[in-house]
Structures are given as structure tokens and as C-alpha cells.
């Protein structure tokens, strides 16, 4: 039994051909604009602060944006029920564009923070919708490649965000960057009615999982605050609180409806919980990119712009590898890729830690890039197949949509956790940037390595799932 659709998976030209190109642009574009804006502001904020002050709120731009994203991904199912595919996407792009335009026009830091929250809500909706609507927008034979295209957008966004922000900041003008994002969002929204299949609206009575939403929001808030407070002890306390809140979330969800994750996640013998954990551990590794520019500048003397591009090697490896990985369809090969992905990610980060040296020579800096690329390739090998495993975990359309939307929730929350944990690890190094780099890379590698165990558990339990939990598609 396989968790991936049967194939002969068709060539990429079918996904990007005339029939499906519009849907692919909308699905991938929705994920991309959100991913770009995770890191866009980091490059723009110094210029914005020079314009109207508010340096004390500097770090809260990322915190508010990520928390809003997590909240919105959890509301995707209710929005789809009330608005249908087209209406939900139009609302998502409209919210994102409005938030981006408000950022561009912000007269003060407080307004910018609120605008970032609105932007994050739109980005979260679009990320969740991408994975939920793919079941209706594309035929099952294209799910793996469609998922690969969307998840690759996280990697592209991590590369394009700092690049776009740095470009505008270079000219001392930060507002046009947000205006450009508003235009892109509006452009994608304009084609939605023509390229997405309409769906029947529900009765609008899908309950909001208020308890689950409150617990995850609190956990996301705690881990985001842990990423910005000073002191290792305070950071560790924030992460510990977040973990306790997530444990409370699992207990609450197991008790019954309404819930965020599909009920299959909590049933004995189901592989879905292991699939989500593996996805989360892969996304966790991406967060180390936030600190790589610092290490490049301080240890190798790289200019800020070059250090930023160098740090995006992980994202580049993730994005490019998925193009080839999504072509793999054999049952055994897919199972191996799920385990190999976390192993390769952890090995790359571990080797990168070993290659850190004070006053790093140029030749060694050149070695860093392929090592980080290999680490990112580990994500690309496993992520699309794990995503399709989640989407294919049930025959129930409503539960399937919930399972798919949860992929975005897991990814956003894991990046937030990874950033906060990375901050704690960096602080352990104290005044030594070399020690900080090694703590961050070694610690993240150890955490990501556990993904091989959860992937193995997902493979093992998929062979013994009860009949009523069998995947929608049987493998070859």
C-alpha cells in the first residue's frame, strides 16, 4: 500500500500546459507571496526605522506576521465551506494585497505592525488554500508535482524575499517593495475566477475550532516571543511554554470535534501523525537560514548582500531537488526518499557546523554553498511525497481538505519554532560567534535527524493501517 497516487506520473509539461497552467499559477503564487514576505521585511526594516523610528518594535514584525499566518491556515476549512474555492481565494488575495498596501502607506511603526498582521492573515489563508484546493484544481495524477511546485515556493520565497528587500533597501526606498507585493497579489486574484473550478458552498455551519485555535495561537505567540526576548533562560522558558501548549492542543484535539487536524491523525495505527511530524522536522531545518547571513558576515567577512544570497543555498537546494523528486513514483523508492530526506538535511547541517572556522578562507566559503545545497536537497527529496501522503490519507473529501490545509499549518508553525530554538542555540555561544554557529548548526541537525525516525514510523504504520483509514489511492 502506498500513500501516493498511482503513476506513470505525467511530465511537468502537463502541469504547466494550457489546461492546468492558470491553476498552477494561482496555487503556487499564493504560497510564494506568503513565503517572500516572511523574510522581505528583514531587509527593509532598517530603512523604515530610519524614516519614522520604532526601533524597539523591530523584531515584532516577524512575530506578528508568523502568528497571523498560523491562525489563518487553521481557518481555511471554514472559509472554503462558506465561500467555495473561488470565493476563498479571492478573499485570501484581497486580504494579502490590502495588508501589503497598508504596509506601503504606513505612517508609523504601530501601523506597520498592524498591517503586517493583516498581510500575514492573507498569506496564511493562501498557503492553506493551496494545499486544500489542489485536490479539486488538479487531477490526482498531478498531485505530487503540484505539491512539489507549491512547496518549492517556500524555498523560492526564502531566496527572493531578502533579494527583493535588499534591492529596494539599496536605493533607500522600502515602501515600493510592499506596493509591488500588493500588485502581485491583485494580479493573481484577478485570474482566479477563470482558472479555478467552482465548488459548492457548504451550509456555513462548519464550527470554528476555538479551543484548538486558542492553544495553537498561544503556542505560536510564545515561541515567537521566545525568538525576540533577550537572554537564553527567557528564550528557553518561552519554548518550554510553547511545547506545553502544543501538548494541550493534542489532548484537546483527541477529545473530538471541532478540530484542526483530521480525525485520522489521532487514530491508533494511523501513519498521518508521523507524516505531519516529519514534515514539521523538515521545515524546522529551514529556520537556520535566518542565522546563516550572520555567520557568513562575522566568520568569513562576506558583504551583507552576498551573505544573504549564500544563506539561501538551502532554499535553492530544496526548490530544485523537488523537480526531480516529484518524478519518483515507485512505492519502495518513495518510502526511501521519505527517510533519506531528513538524514540528508541533518548530515548537511552537521557538516556545515564542522566547516565553521574563525577567519574562514575564501576556498572554504566556496565549500559551504554545496554543503548547504545538499542540506536543502534533503527537504526537496521528501517534502512533496509526505505532502501527498497527507492529502491522500482519507476518502472523505472534507477530511481530505482538512488534512491538506494542515500541511501549511505545520510548515508555518515549524518555521516559527525553528527560528526561536535557533535563537536560543545562538545565545549559548555567548560572545563567540564561532561557538554560536556550531551550537545552532549542530543543535538543528540533531533535531532534524529525528525526522528519519518519524519517517520510518510513517512507512511502517502505512503497511498496517485499518481498512477505513486506507489512503485514497493505492500505490504501484
Mean pLDDT by 10 residues, the chain (476 residues): 42 77 90 84 76 73 83 85 89 96 92 93 91 83 84 79 77 88 94 83 64 86 79 87 92 82 84 93 88 86 76 84 83 92 97 92 90 94 90 75 83 84 85 92 96 93 50 41
Pairwise CA distance, residues 173 & 339, whole Å: 45
Establish whether the linkage from the previous residue to 373 is cis, with ω within 30° of 0. no
Residue pair 418/284 in contact (Cβ under 8 Å)? The answer is: yes
CATH for 12-469, options being 3.30.2420.10, 1.10.1060.10, 3.30.590.10, 1.20.1250.20: 1.20.1250.20
Contact 383, 4 (CB under 8 A): no
pLDDT for residue 205: 60
Q: What is the pLDDT of residue 144?
A: 82
Q: Look up residue 172 and give its three cell numbers.
A: 533607500
Looking up cell 483527541, which residue turns up? 254
pLDDT of residue 202: 54
Per-residue pLDDT at 467: 38
Query: Rounded to an integer, what distance in angstroms lies between the CA atom of residue 356 and that of residue 442?
Result: 11
What per-residue confidence (pLDDT) applies to 476?
Answer: 32
pLDDT of the residue at 159:
76
The separation between CA 342 and the C-alpha centre of its own chain, rounded to angstroms, equals 16
pTM greater than 0.75:
yes
Q: Per-domain residue ranges for the chain?
A: 12-469
Tally Cβ neighbours within 10 Å of residue 297: 18
Instruction: List Cα–Cα distances, 34 to 28, 92, 104, 150, 231, in angstroms.
Output: 10, 11, 16, 11, 30
Amino acid at each position: 500500500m502506498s500513500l501516493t497516487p498511482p503513476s506513470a506520473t505525467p511530465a511537468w509539461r502537463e502541469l504547466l500546459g494550457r489546461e492546468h497552467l492558470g491553476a498552477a499559477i494561482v496555487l503556487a503564487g499564493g504560497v510564494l507571496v506568503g513565503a517572500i514576505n516572511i523574510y522581505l521585511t528583514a531587509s527593509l526594516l532598517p530603512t523604515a526605522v530610519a524614516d519614522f523610528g520604532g526601533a524597539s518594535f523591530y523584531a515584532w514584525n516577524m512575530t506578528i506576521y508568523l502568528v497571523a499566518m498560523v491562525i489563518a491556515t487553521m481557518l481555511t476549512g471554514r472559509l472554503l465551506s462558506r465561500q467555495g474555492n473561488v470565493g476563498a481565494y479571492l478573499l485570501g488575495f484581497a486580504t494579502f494585497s490590502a495588508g501589503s498596501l497598508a504596509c506601503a502607506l504606513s505612517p508609523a511603526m504601530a501601523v506597520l505592525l498592524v498591517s503586517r498582521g493583516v498581510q500575514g492573515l492573507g498569506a496564511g489563508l493562501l498557503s492553506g488554500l493551496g494545499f486544500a484546493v489542489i485536490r479539486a484544481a488538479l487531477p490526482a495524477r498531478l498531485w505530487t508535482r503540484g505539491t512539489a511546485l507549491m512547496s518549492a515556493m517556500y524555498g523560492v520565497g526564502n531566496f527572493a524575499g531578502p533579494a527583493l528587500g535588499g534591492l529596494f533597501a539599496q536605493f533607500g526606498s522600502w515602501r515600493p517593495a510592499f506596493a509591488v507585493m500588493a500588485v502581485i497579489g491583485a494580479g493573481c486574484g484577478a485570474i482566479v475566477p477563470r482558472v479555478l473550478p467552482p465548488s459548492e458552498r457548504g451550509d456555513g455551519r462548519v464550527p470554528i475550532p476555538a479551543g484548538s485555535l486558542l492553544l495553537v495561537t498561544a503556542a505560536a505567540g510564545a515561541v515567537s516571543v521566545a525568538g525576540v526576548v533577550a537572554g537564553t533562560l527567557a528564550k528557553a522558558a518561552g519554548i518550554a511554554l510553547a511545547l506545553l501548549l502544543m501538548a494541550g492542543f493534542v489532548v484537546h484535539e483527541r477529545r473530538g470535534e471541532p478540530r484542526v487536524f483530521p480525525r485520522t491523525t489521532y487514530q491508533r495505527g494511523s501513519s498521518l501523525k508521523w507524516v505531519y511530524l516529519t514534515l514539521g522536522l523538515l521545515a524546522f531545518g529551514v529556520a537556520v537560514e535566518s542565522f546563516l547571513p550572520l555567520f557568513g558576515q562575522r566568520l568569513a567577512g562576506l558583504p551583507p548582500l552576498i551573505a544573504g544570497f549564500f544563506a539561501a543555498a538551502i532554499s535553492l537546494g530544496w526548490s530544485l531537488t523537488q523537480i526531480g523528486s516529484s518524478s519518483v513514483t515507485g512505492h519502495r523508492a518513495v518510502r526511501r526518499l521519505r527517510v533519506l530526506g531528513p538524514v540528508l538535511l541533518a548530515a548537511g547541517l552537521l557538516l556545515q557546523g564542522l566547516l565553521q572556522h574563525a577567519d574562514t578562507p575564501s576556498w572554504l566559503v566556496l565549500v559551504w554553498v554545496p554543503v548547504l545545497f545538499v542540506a536543502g536537497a534533503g527537504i526537496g527529496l521528501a517534502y512533496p511525497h509526505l505532502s501527498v501522503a497527507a492529502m491522500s490519507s482519507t476518502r472523505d473529501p472534507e477530511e481530505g481538505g482538512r488534512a491538506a490545509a494542515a500541511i501549511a499549518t505545520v510548515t508555518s508553525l515549524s518555521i516559527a519554532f525553528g527560528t526561536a530554538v535557533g535563537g536560543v542555540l545562538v545565545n549559548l555561544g555567548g560572545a563567540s560567534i564561532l561557538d554560536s554557529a556550531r551550537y545552532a548548526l549542530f543543535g538543528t541537525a540533531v533535531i532534524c535527524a529525528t525526522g528519519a525516525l518519524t519517517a520510518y514510523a510513517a512507512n511502517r504504520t502505512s503497511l498496517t493501517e485499518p481498512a477505513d483509514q486506507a489512503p485514497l489511492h493505492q500505490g504501484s
